Amino acid sequence: MSQPAIDIIRKRYERKFTPEVLTAIQARRIVLSSAAMFKPLFHPRLINNIYLDTVRFNCYYDNVHGSSQRKKIRIRWYGDLLQNHSKPVLEIKVKSGHLGDKKLYPLPECNISEIIYSHTSLQSFFDSAQLPEAIRQMLKSYHPRLLNRYKREYFIDASGNYRMTIDEDIRFQKLKENSNAIIKPRVIDKRPVVELKYDEIYDNNASCITENIPFRLTKNSKYVNGIEAFYHVIY
């Protein structure tokens, strides 16, 4: 039997900025005019996520409490929200401070609307995927909590070592307990989120980038924001 496919994103820094009083267009102008000479990397695209968490919201609480090994688990796909033929990916992201790594597991091509609306068990979907047994067993403790969608633009600096993304039109919808069906209404966050990403080896020179970007460094998690919009969590 062939080994399950996996792609590991090596450790990198992810520093987030929320320009509270700026639009995404204004943030884009600042990024493109910086001394780091950022330019578009490729076409903007829509990103969709289904976030999973435990019954006790362990991922949420680890993130808000700043635990040393905090984790996020999500299913991600690009383009239309309800595609007939989508190639989703399971992402397991582990972070410590601003430094994190990510493991990606390709999932079977599917009709996303069937997963979201037909009450199809995510566990059955995972069982049909070629996942490592340890991951498959771990996922049995996780349930769909949140649907998230936004538009992302990508930029890269002149050295090719630093990437910047701008997310806008960030939307959230709650997923029903014990199923994947959406509960309305949705929440829309109009604030853009700017993120600087680079490999661990380039951290010493990162200040050359950030000192030319007049955005305030902030702790901003789309998952945490979405959970707090819909669930009565206490911390």
Confirm whether 2 is domain-assigned: no
Q: Which amino acid is at 51?
A: Y
Confirm whether 19 is domain-assigned: yes
Confidence of residue 222 (pLDDT cuts 50, 70, 90): very high
**110-132: per-residue pLDDT in tens?**
887 777 766 567 888 888 888 99
Is pLDDT larger for residue 233 or for residue 12? Answer: 12
Burial of 124 (0-12, 13-18, 19+ CB in 10 A): exposed
CA–CA separation, 104 and 107 (whole Å): 9
Confirm whether 203 is domain-assigned: yes
Report whether pLDDT(3) > 90.
no
What is the DSSP secondary-structure string of 66-114? Answer: T-TTEEEEEEEEES-TT-SSB--EEEEEEEETTEEEEEEEE---B-HHH
Return the pLDDT at 177.
Answer: 61
Burial of 162 (0-12, 13-18, 19+ CB in 10 A): buried
Report whether pLDDT(155) > 80.
yes
Percent of the chain with pLDDT over 90: 52
Q: Which two tokens stand for residue 107?
A: 């999932």
Return the pLDDT at 160.
Answer: 95
Tell me what the pLDDT averaged over the chain comes to: 87
Report whether pLDDT(216) > 70.
yes
Return the pLDDT at 220.
Answer: 82
Percent of the chain with pLDDT over 70: 89
**174-187: per-residue pLDDT in tens?**
887 656 666 666 88
Return the pLDDT at 115.
Answer: 73
What is the mean predicted confidence (pLDDT) over 86-114? Answer: 87
Confirm whether 235 is domain-assigned: no
Confidence of residue 23 (pLDDT cuts 50, 70, 90): very high
Confidence of residue 46 (pLDDT cuts 50, 70, 90): very high
Confirm whether 52 is domain-assigned: yes
Return the pLDDT at 202.
Answer: 93
Show the domain range for 163. 7-230
Count of domains for the chain: 1
Q: Which two tokens stand for residue 101?
A: 């790594």
Confirm whether 48 is domain-assigned: yes
Return the pLDDT at 232.
Answer: 75
Confirm whether 1 is domain-assigned: no
What CATH number did the domain enclosing 72 receive?
A: 3.20.100.30
Confidence of residue 1 (pLDDT cuts 50, 70, 90): very low
Return the pLDDT at 5.
Answer: 62
